[in-house]
Amino acid sequence: MMDLSRSIQQSSPFFLKRVKYFLSRLFGTRLQKAKGIHFVTVNGHRFKRLILCDSFLATEIEQSLEGYRESGYFPPLVARYEHEIWLEYVEGNPIRSVDENLVIKIAEFYATIYGNNPILLNTNESSFPGKLMQDLRFLQQINVLTQDSYRDLQVAVNKLMPQQVWVGDEYTDPVLKNFILQKGNERISVVDVDGLAGNQLLGIGVAKACVRWLGPYQSLFFSTLSKQGAPDFQAYFNFVELCFLAKWMKRAFLEKDWKVIDSSLFERFRHP
């Protein structure tokens, strides 16, 4: 009989960083996700154990992953128990650099996500304009935006806002460390599954990628999305980008991630 008690658990290589975040969060100095990551080996097979702060979040991730079970982009879900998610460990190579081939692969990944039952909504009937205005107001209150910038951006929102927006599934955290290239077939695989979320303004993940690494390849990315039949939000992408930037910088301030805060990124939106 197999002795399952001989399993081995290892903490994430980012364990010390997470301890530091936890302590700062405990003493009220920053907001930070309450999440633990461990790697467990049982009978020679590795699994990723994701421990969240409550079962609601774990259930949301479980339901999101079920919709992409056949896509091959996410690690297979092994189990969800209360506030824990267990995933199969996917072998792969980290992404060291960006080229056209990688951009096409990630665009194809996003086309799969965006093609999963998107909905076209009247923008004024959605929550996005109100959330954007509140985020801009907060940034002005904490002096990230000057009063003049805030006033100009309020006017710009009305000019940039489309009549309708696409809403649906989104991968919200496309930093390169969250992707690997699978061994054997070089397919993209996502290693940070809690970036998958539903009921999102489509394109906010792309907006973050543009800030971090996608900028020079934006044209190729959008042309690949179009060829794959993804919903077209390119015509109002400036609105999506502004929504992303305002939310991103608000969160960076609350998390004390000072390197992210850069008010100059809003300048190009002031006079559309």
Q: What tens digit of pLDDT does each residue of 25-44 get?
A: 445 555 556 678 889 999 88
Confidence of residue 2 (pLDDT cuts 50, 70, 90): very low
The vertex-154 CA angle with 152 and 159, nearest 5°, equals 90
Confidence of residue 218 (pLDDT cuts 50, 70, 90): very high
Residue 262 has pLDDT above 70, yes or no: yes
The amino acid that residue 34 corresponds to is: A
| pTM to 2 decimal places | 0.87
- Using CB atoms within 10 Å of the CB of residue 8, give its burial: 0 to 12 exposed, 13 to 18 middle, 19+ buried: exposed
